[in-house]
Chain A
Amino acid sequence: MAVFALRRLALLLVSLLLASVLIFFVLRLLSGDLAQVIAGVQATPEQVEQLRHQLGTDRPLLAQYLGWIGGVLTGDFGRSALSGVGVSAELRQKLTVTGPLVLGSVVLSVLFAVPLGVLAAVLHRRRLGLGITATSQLGIALPTLWVGLVLAIVFAVWLRWLPAQGFPTAGWSRPGRAISSLVLPCLTLALSEGAVLLRFVRSATLGVLSQDFLRTARATGLTRTGALLRHGLRNAALPVVSILGLQIAALIVGAVVVEQVFTLPGVGRMLITDVGNRDLVKVQGEVLLIASAVLVIGFLIDLVHRLVDPRLRVVG
């Protein structure tokens, strides 16, 4: 197990490095440069050139890359050339919105997808089960952004229970208002991604239901529910855990859209703005963060898989 973990960790590190290289060099393809944006429309070409020198964007690419990655390894993501603010500081600040958003959505989606998915599987021939399945089918087809818009219309414009957009400028120091700003966005993501999760839970449970060991368990006197709970779920958990990993990755991306719909000051919206400004140092940091999060989650899922699945462990 330890050997596997170490090997997998090495793989993770290589992936992260590859990702950083990819990010850095692909972004340099972008047209338009930061110096011109800062200097504005009134500046002369000489002024822009000088600014480029000040920003260091006229150095050879490899030197710039090494400079950047060296900083990243020590936790310093650099400073935005446009605002002079440290990228890590800004990321941390924006994560106070995106973090709870993603976390809240994961929790909500698991809370509603797992029980309903199991129910749909157990009752798959009854009307309730079919109803849940059909609804989840619909849920998958609903575009996340539309769900967000409709929820905003119902709960914010018509009922006025919750804010339609934005996040309190005071941040988490006013927790009540902060949470109410995140309710609709979390709900939106949870409904959309939860529907997908529900389907997987359902099919995994169905798969387990028809397995032999369950029949054996029932033969030993357990009720169907008991057998399901004691033995079935543990086996169903495995594929669900992998899917959950992929879902979290999808949620991180879905957060970009939801942040736009509800104008939340999170990492996603900041990314869109920064790409528009060609503030490459910031974009690099943000993209690296997102890609790393996904890669690390994949790594953790693999480890969990390995731990939980006895078959894999035997093979070594």
Chain B
Amino acid sequence: MHIRRLTPLLLAGCLVLAGCGGGAGSGVGGGAADPNATVSVRLLLEPTSLDITKVAGAALEQVLLDNVYQTLLTRSADQKIVPLLAASYETSPDGLTYTFRLHPDARFADGSPLTSADVAASLDRARAADSTNPNAKDLAAVTSVATPDPRTVVITLGQRDTNLTYALTNRAGAVLKKGTDPATLDATPNGSGPFVVRQWRRGSAIVLARNDNYWGEKAKVASVVLNYIPDFNAANNAQLTGETDVETAPLPTLLDPIRADPDFTITQGITSDKYVLGINNTKGPLADVRVRQAIRRTLGVVGLSKILGGTYKRIGSGVAPTDPWFQDLTSIDPYDPASAKDLLARAGFPNGLNLTLTVPNIYPTTIGDYIVSQLKQVGIAVTFQPVEFASWLDKVYKRGDFDLSIVDHAEARDIGNYANPRYYWHYNSPVVQDLYRRATTAATEGERDDLLKQAARQISLDAASDWLLNPTDLVVLRPGITGFPTSGTSSRLNLSQLAATSKE
């Protein structure tokens, strides 16, 4: 039997009493945390809707998951999977049955208890045949969700799935009250989390207020104002003038004024973002692995990282540091323009070739400009086509009509895309597909990680794409702010530990 125990996350151990006592835990600045504080946070991308069952996008997950809605399991600050709504869980030895025991006090913001019926209803809705949940596929292996008693949920799988627990920490595992009408989700979200949505001023801010009915350790601040400031200069300004207490996703090239101020702290964490140079593996000259390798060897991204502010890491594969099977594969196809030219010649293109680069215009053109400039050095003439995201979805993603493309694949643990020959890269490797299949149905996580490491290595050797950069997660904090997440903040922002001392 495989038993997971409660983690300190839910222990009522470290309460901060109102008004007296020192600040709890480590953090910046001293003084007592103010339980009536309102913390103002700058976020970059505003969600278009709060309907978590239908509308895709990391922006919703950032606001809602862990704060308003909760999942059976969640991820800790160091990316480990830990129980949340489930006080404990067990897995059967054959890996086909997961039994979750819900926390006895769990309840929704309106006071009604959270029972297994709610969990089952949410999971069933997410995995239904006509589900509109963008993460429905994550629950594909689930054959049934049973509720033997109000506190127990039994998930049965048709085959092993080493990704299930991870899937349950995401949107597919969000627990909504049974019978919730999705049409009302925009206006009246009723979740079980430590915050409720008090107000949404579209185009500017979402205000989260402490859920006083929360079943666990109450939030340490009275409210959090999530300010959506897409412009990087304005965001800096807001932080420098004190309008915001926390600035997420600052532009690294604009950080000098912030760095010059000794009061501000800039935390650094890891992200699951991967700026991928997607290569259409079946198109013309790109079908030849030597051409793809040549492209990889021409793109020395150290210079690119410098231009972008220096806080980017090279990664050698489609695996980000947030994934358990991460390994450094940057030694495969390192920067070597001379050998790149040689490879091109041997592949039959001694005079170079012409390619198009299709990029959604939500990214700074610097990256595309850089690719064009670099590839020019080995004779590859690139036509740069910035397109709107909707056009990119249609042209590149849906129809696969492209040569090269740059997109930030922000999801963690998405190596499975390389095992899908229909994914827009058209990379079809039976070896990798087999490794992935075995990893999904592996008996232990260690086995899974080994298999996926092999898969990642193979993908890299095949030069299926070029993985340009992995950004460092930067967050600017004013003195007195503690408990703010430092990693993966663009897709998950767990504010349950956030505390603030009052500003001078």
Whether the complex brings A and B within 8 Å at their CB atoms is answered yes
- A residues in contact (CB < 8 Å) with B: 30-34, 36-44, 47, 50-51, 54, 82-85, 90, 93-94, 163-166, 169, 263, 265, 270, 275-278
Interface bin, chain B: 35 or more
Residues B393 and A32 in contact, CB atoms below 8 Å apart: yes
Chain B residues closer than 8 Å to A169, beta-carbon distance: 201, 204-205, 227
Query: Is A50 touching B229 in the complex (CB atoms < 8 A)?
Result: no
Neighbour of A43 across the interface among B134, B389, B392, CB < 8 A: B134
- B202–A278 CB distance below 8 A: no
Q: Chain B: residues with CB nearer than 8 A to chain A?
A: 48-49, 51, 54-57, 130-132, 134-137, 183, 186, 201-205, 227, 229-231, 233-234, 237, 361, 388-395, 397-398
Write the nearest CB–CB distance from A166 to chain B, whole angstroms. 5
The answer to whether A82 and B389 have CB atoms under 8 Å apart is no
Cβ–Cβ contact A166 & B388, under 8 A = no
A163 partner residues in chain B, CB cutoff 8 A: 237
Bound-state Cα–Cα, A69 to B132, Å: 29
Query: Interface centre among A36, A82, A166, by most B CB within 10 Å?
Result: A166
14 CB contacts below 8 A, A to B, read: A31-B395, A32-B391, A34-B390, A36-B394, A38-B48, A39-B56, A41-B397, A43-B132, A50-B132, A83-B49, A165-B233, A166-B229, A276-B388, A277-B389
A82 to B60, CA, bound (A): 13
Q: A33-B394, A42-B56 are in contact. List 15 more A-B contacts (CB 8 A).
A: A31-B390, A31-B395, A39-B134, A43-B134, A82-B49, A82-B55, A83-B202, A94-B203, A163-B237, A164-B233, A164-B237, A166-B229, A263-B231, A265-B204, A276-B388
Contacts of A164 in B (CB 8 A): 233-234, 237
Bound CA–CA A82/B229 (angstroms): 20
How far apart are the CA atoms of A166 and B390 in the complex, in Å? 26
Contact B57 A33 (CB under 8 A): no
User: Nearest A residue to B56 by beta-carbon distance?
Assistant: A40
Total contacts A to B, CB within 8 angstroms? 99
Output the nearest chain B residue to A276 by Cβ-Cβ distance: B388
* Nearest CB on A from B34, distance (A): 22
For the complex of A and B, 6 pairs with smallest distance between CB atoms: A40-B56, A32-B390, A32-B394, A169-B204, A278-B390, A82-B48
Complex CA gap A32/B186 in Å reads 25
Contacts of B51 in A (CB 8 A): 84
**B286: shortest Cβ distance to chain A, in Å?**
22
Q: A31-B394, A44-B137, A278-B390 are in contact. Are A83 and B48 (CB under 8 A)?
A: yes
Q: What chain A residues lie within 8 Å of B394 (beta carbons)?
A: 31-33, 36
Q: B233 contacts A265, CB within 8 Å?
A: no
**Contact at A31–B391, with CB atoms within 8 Å?**
yes
Distance from B276 Cβ to chain A, minimum over Cβ atoms (Å): 12
A228 to chain B, nearest CB (A): 48
A118 to chain B, nearest CB (A): 40
Q: Chain B nearest CB: distance from A85 CB in Å?
A: 6
Residues from chain A with Cβ under 8 Å of B237 in the complex: 163-164
Q: B390 is contacted by which of A93, A265, A276 (Cβ under 8 Å)?
A: A276
Nearest-CB residue, chain A, relative to B391: A32
A132 to B49, CA, bound (A): 52
**A263 partner residues in chain B, CB cutoff 8 A:** 230-231, 234
The closest CB in chain B to the CB of A36 belongs to B393
Residues of A within 8 Å of B49, CB to CB, are 82-84
- CB-defined contacts of B231 to chain A, threshold 8 Å: 165-166, 263
Establish whether residues A42 and B137, one from each chain, have CB atoms under 8 Å apart when the complex forms.
yes
Task: Count chain B CB atoms within 10 A of each CB in A41, A93, A276 and give the residue with the most.
Answer: A41
Q: Considering the chains assembled together, what is the distance between the CA atoms of A30 and B393 in angstroms?
A: 13
Which residues of chain B are near A36, meaning CB under 8 Å? 390, 393-394, 398
Docked pose: A265 CA to B361 CA in angstroms: 20
* CA–CA, A166 and B244, complex, Å: 14
* Least distance between A51 CB and chain B CB atoms (Å): 6
Q: How far is the CA of A60 from the CA of B165 in the complex (A)?
A: 44
Q: Which residues of A contact B54 (CB under 8 A)?
A: 38, 51
Question: How near does chain B come to A281, taking the closest CB pair, in angstroms?
Answer: 13
CA distance A44 to B131 in the complex (A): 10
Residues of the B chain whose Cβ atoms lie less than 8 Å from the Cβ of A93: 202-203
Q: Are the CB atoms of B57 and A40 closer together than 8 Å?
A: yes
